[in-house]
């Protein structure tokens, strides 16, 4: 197996596992994962889509983030509660799926050596995380896994059954 196959697997699997926690949370989209706060389901979805565009499109490829307009709501230090500030659940879920689908389509054209190309626009001081195309792709897969815990917490807080995937 070449490492590009592992990257493809990680991107597919992280999306499958995370989105499985989301489908039945539409009616509980603003439930926080704990009494101490954290990202509610709608915020996590938008955050994943926004960061995917930032890391893959902007950092790795040097293109504009197609979801740049979402930065204020989905990439700030605070997680807003006001539903009026957010796109609908269905729109956010579709954009999240679309962001991952676009990433997966783009890597289908890459070869193993392409993964080690320097990123077009890695932030200074973050080369260890975003310095190559490979690092950017692995980051977005890991980022989805990381937020899976928030989604599991939000499910528990909303009284939605635990998932074993």
Rounded CA-CA distance 136/2 in Å is: 17
pLDDT, tens digit (0-9, with 9 covering 90-100), for 84-136: 999 999 999 999 999 999 999 999 999 999 999 999 999 999 999 999 999 99
pLDDT, tens digit (0-9, with 9 covering 90-100), for 42-55: 999 999 999 999 99
CA distances from 46 to 36, 138, 164 (A): 21, 19, 24
Domains of the chain: 3-158 (1.20.120.450)
Rounded CA-CA distance 153/40 in Å is: 9
């Amino acid at each position: 197996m070449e490492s590009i196959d592992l990257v493809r697997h990680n991107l597919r699997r992280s999306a499958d596992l995370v989105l499985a926690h989301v489908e039945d949370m539409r009616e509980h989209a603003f439930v926080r994962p704990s009494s101490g706060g954290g990202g509610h389901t709608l915020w996590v979805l938008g955050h994943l889509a926004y960061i995917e565009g930032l890391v893959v499109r902007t950092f790795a490829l040097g293109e504009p983030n197609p979801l740049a307009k979402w930065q204020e709501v989905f990439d700030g230090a605070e997680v807003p509660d006001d539903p009026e500030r957010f796109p609908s659940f269905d729109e956010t879920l579709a954009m999240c799926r679309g962001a991952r689908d676009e990433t997966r389509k783009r890597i289908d054209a890459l070869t193993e050596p392409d993964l080690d190309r320097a990123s077009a626009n890695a932030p200074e001081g973050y080369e260890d995380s975003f310095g190559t195309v490979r690092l950017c792709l692995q980051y977005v897969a890991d980022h989805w896994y990381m937020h899976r815990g928030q989604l599991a917490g939000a499910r528990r807080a909303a009284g939605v059954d635990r998932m074993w995937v």
